[in-house]
Amino acid sequence: MKILVSAGEASGDLYASALVQTLRSHLPDAEFFGCTGPRMRAAGIRTVVDAAQLNVVGLVEVVHHIPRIYGEFRKLVRAAETERPDIAILTDSPDFHLRLAKKLRKLKIPIVYLIAPQVWAWRKRRIRYLRSLDHLLCIFPFEEQYFRERGTKATYIGHPLTRLVKPTMGRTEWRKKHRIPAGRPLVTVLPGSRPGEIARHLPLLAPTVDRINAKQPASFVLATPSGLKNRLPLTFFTEPIGRSPIQHIEGETWDAIAHADLALAASGTVTIEAALLGTPLVAFYKVSPLSWWMGRFLVDVPFYSMVNLVAGRRVVPEFIQDAFTPETLASAAIKLLEDSEARLLIEEGLKDVAQRLASAIDPMERGARIVLDILEKERLNAIS
């Protein structure tokens, strides 16, 4: 049996690798191949396309990368045509994967889509492309009903991170490992997982750290995913980031969040990780001015941070685009470091978010069962 698996960014890489590991317990002889990140490769998925080649965010930013992305797209389609997988599991990255799904459908390959595209938030016309999927696996509780009412076979499996997110060591041990002083608060800075995000955010985060440190002396950690050193200029690691000391730690994001007193987090999956780890946070995000101008006509949500969207209310401060300045971010951070009641209020809100995302059954086991059911139906149809 062959199974095509594709993910285009860090969170998708994590979820897809976890689903494959669960599927292996049911299908030990299956062969997995596709578009992979480091976690998927560690899970034994053969690489046809490196997911790092697809990591671009922004309506305008992506334009310059279209030729390369299309080349990788064609490479993956050719692999599907040659190897004829029994099923395809596509994870997140809808601009890439909905186009891939169209090609796979013509090849009569069943398709399971993990991590529902956020069409409920923006570009709602994409819903029509989802109706041809064999199954859509949702990770937020409000999504199943939304998609089913619009003609897509969807199931809420629970959020995978509720079973995955945890630190690897205790607070004292981890701080000792990185020589972080115990007598002052720790602020973890999370600029994003893509080079483009980091390049946009760091020029604003550096003076933010300086402002915080001037008012409330603290230790600062810049946490980034594994493998980023190979994708950023050498000067990123040799030049100082602002005037205040900040330690760069790669590949230990969950520890860096769990053992921090406060996180400054790029809006995205990492805000959910912080919620599950119970660490108060301030969310931010910025794209190019043109992408923002174009995107504002397509977006229809009361909040941008997933933490606030899941809660249905403003649990954490969020500063998006023009609202994201060193002054606004530092002011919110200083308040949370100095005001214990404000911190407690956010911590209670994060507990509520974690409870909303919890599920009785392991989400990956639930997702695997859906994949197995489709494979069994395909086998029976082939026999008949």
Give the model's pLDDT for residue 61.
45
Where do we find the tokens 């923006």? 122
> What tokens does 326 get?
């060193």
DSSP β-ladder status, 87-91 and 2-7: parallel
By the 8 A CB rule, do 291 and 59 touch?
yes
Tell how many helices (H) and how many strands (E) occur in the chain.
Answer: 17, 13
Contacts (Cβ under 8 Å, ≥6 apart) of 83: 2, 4, 33
The Cα 280–Cα 274 span in angstroms is 7
- Residue 47 CA, chain-centre distance (Å), reads 20
> What tokens does 84 get?
């004829």
Give the model's pLDDT for residue 238.
55
DSSP β-ladder status, 111-114 and 247-250: unpaired
Contacts (Cβ under 8 Å, ≥6 apart) of 185: 216, 218, 219, 261, 262, 337
The Cα 225–Cα 207 span in angstroms is 22
The Cα 305–Cα 269 span in angstroms is 9
By the 8 A CB rule, do 114 and 19 touch?
yes
Reported pTM: 0.81
> Domains, the chain, ranges and CATH?
2-158+359-383 (3.40.50.2000), 171-357 (3.40.50.2000)
Give the model's pLDDT for residue 336.
97
In the predicted model, residues of the chain with pLDDT beneath 70 are 55-65, 121-123, 228-242, 288-302
Q: Half-sphere exposure of residue 257, counting CA atoms within 13 Å on the CB side?
A: 27
Give the model's pLDDT for residue 183.
85
Give the model's pLDDT for residue 59.
41
Give the model's pLDDT for residue 141.
86
Q: Which of 263, 254, 276 is nearest to 174 (CA)?
A: 254
Give the model's pLDDT for residue 95.
84
Contacts (Cβ under 8 Å, ≥6 apart) of 122: 295, 298, 299, 300, 301
Give the model's pLDDT for residue 240.
57
